[in-house]
A and B are shown apart, each in its own frame.
Chain A
Amino acid sequence: MLEINNLHVKLEEEEKEILKGVDLKVEAGKVHAIMGPNGSGKSTLSYVLSGRDGYEVTQGSATLDGNDLLELEPEERAAAGLFLAFQYPVEIPGVGNMTFLRTAVNAQRKARGEEELSAAEFLKDIRAKAKALKIDADMLKRPVNVGFSGGEKKRNEILQMAMLEPKMCILDETDSGLDVDAMKLVSEGVNALRDEGRSFLVITHYQRLLDHIKPDVVHIMADGQIVKSGGPELALEVEHNGYGDILAEVN
């Protein structure tokens, strides 16, 4: 599914290197988690994979099912099946949530040579999926994320993911800003999408999200590299002892 080899990335404007040779392979149907201290490069990795401006790849590769992601525009990556749930979902005044989602769904279908969804089909689909995430009709009509609470924004990200049905989902600190109930709701939304053809990369600071979304593999990222990988028990170790022990052991 997703294969990252020796990925080196620096900021376009500065010489500072942020990713210093990331290697990662996520197989189809698997859930991988990346944990790591602040500033270790987790969010940068998610932005670089989704094609955000401002970063320069100086070395290495990233492919999705063999397609070179780094050669594609952000919208082409989306159509190829990549999805990033933003840590800070963007508010877009003047663009209705429903209009936005329908445009996105149909743009992706068009790019893949599939037939566009009719208004009725789309409506039926979104109503069912919104209901599961406790997103009401009013939230669908409002401008994208405008006036949404932190929890509503994150649920809206998961709704987009459910509607777009990507192959590779990256969740960037989706648990940040969520209370216990909201985290449960969001996790249920994610778990409902787990499928043998779909993979997840869950970026988080805390183990508690991983109680709800059970990972197959846990990676520890520090200073722009993945320094240790293991099973779910690695997340528990971090929860109990912090990153200090692991980083000391690696160094």
Chain B
Amino acid sequence: MALPQPNQTATEERLTSLTMPDAGCTRKAREAALSRVREMGLPGRRDEYWKYTRPDTLVSAEAPPAAVFHNDEPMLFSEFDRLKIVFVDGVFSPDASDELELEGVKIDRLEDICCKDIHWAKELYGVLEARGQKPVQRPLAALNTAFATDGVAIHVTGKPSKPISLIYRHESETSDAILHHIVRVETDAEVTILENGPAASRFNKCMEIDIADGGTLHHIRAQGRDHQRRAATHMFTRMGSEAVYKSFTLTVNGVLTRNEQVVELTGDDAVAHVSGACVGDGDFHHDDTVFITHDAVNCESRQVFKKVLRNGATGVFQGKILVKEGAQKTDGYQISQSLLLDDDSQFLAKPELEIYADDVACSHGSTSGAIDETALFYLRSRGVPTEDATDMLTLAFLAEAVEEIEDEDLADVIVSRLKDWLARRR
């Protein structure tokens, strides 16, 4: 007998507000995803996995409005040569985007994968999301699979000469966007994917990434400055032997952000690094939820998350390393740290290790602290004014996460955004 879901009413209300696109070959995957949503129910306050983050505004039938933030600053990564794919409030904009042509990669819009008979895409859509529902349920990702209205399928067969840049503009105060991207990186292929922009008033984004043996994916993301925006994102990554996945996220604003990363290392000698830096001020709530499964021998995973919080901002980290039986020689590392710039802010962390193999090295650590007074005095005693010294120490705190970005030029623009944030808050 099926038990009634505690959140059934809210789930049905949300489902009524959505229409499943008429999407041909993904129809089956979408319907299966819808059944998963109904079975699981959308997250509610009592769900253990949502203990530190209230999901109400992420599951409500209507998206809470969010003012569009205007400024004259060029958007991030503007100075980089890249292939631009632009979405405005969750709708692909052919005019703002480049031609989707680049050597070593094939890019199609989600709605075209059926008519073009793109097999890999049909076989990936919703698959990693469905795998990622165990052992922890992620109903918002299933909702995304069922109702995504746009997105791209990126097939990487070589080493494209420039990054693929997904740009998310926010222009409507009431937009409620659901995007779903799928990425397949073939054997020995390598690509960098950039994502930036506030996207919508409420943004539900899912990316499924399948990296074949020896493939490499670099992912660098910055979530836009529109303060009132809300976002729930999922990245599902499956990795073959010697595959490499390195993902970094910068968040400098947003009233509510929940970023989930679900990584499955299924081939030997694979390397996965997920990291993030966030800086929050006031009614800022930022949640990094990471689940890394080691299911092969001699793999390495790293999680490095740093949060700077002030004026009542909240940071959340839930990170898990699951080492399955037989995943010997696993090297798992996890660190989550917060720098609290006042007494009103809070950091809630739940680091977890679950290990079923006996020859592994796994470590995790989580700390929360204020600016180091001794270091501050040392800098001031050399003539550095207090505010500058505090900024130096704040950037130094974030550095360990930013250093996870391999490309120095990209790391530099991330640092300059962090400096801008500090300067704005003087």
Residues of A near any B CB (own CB < 8 A): 50-53, 73-75, 77-79, 83-84, 86, 89-90, 92-95, 100-101, 103-105, 107-108, 111, 143, 160, 164
Contacts and interface: CB of A to CB of B under 8 A. Distances in A.
Main secondary structure of the interface of B (DSSP, over half): helix
B23 to A, nearest CB: 47
Given A53-B377, A90-B374, A95 B393 contact: yes
A103 B396 contact: no
Contacts of B381: 50-52, 74-75, 77-78, 83-84, 86
A105 B400 CA distance: 26
B388 A94 contact: no
Contacts of A90: 374-375, 377-378
Contact of A92 (B378, B380, B385, B386): B378
Contacts of A84: 381
Given A92-B393, A94-B400, A95-B393, A73 B380 contact: yes
Contact of A93 (B378, B382, B384, B396): B396
Given A53-B373, A90-B375, A103-B388, A75 B380 contact: yes
Given A93-B400, A94-B399, A143-B396, 19 more contacts: A50-B381, A51-B380, A52-B381, A74-B377, A75-B382, A75-B383, A78-B381, A79-B383, A83-B381, A90-B374, A92-B393, A94-B396, A94-B397, A95-B396, A100-B392, A104-B382, A108-B383, A111-B385, A160-B382
Nearest to A101: B382
A100 B383 contact: no
B369 to A, nearest CB: 13
Contacts of B397: 94
A107 B375 contact: no
A74 B382 CA distance: 8
A120 to B, nearest CB: 20
A208 to B, nearest CB: 27
A103 B395 CA distance: 14
Nearest to B380: A74
Given A53-B373, A53-B377, A78 B395 contact: no
Contacts of B388: 103, 107
Contacts of A75: 380-386, 389
A174 to B, nearest CB: 15
B67 interface: no
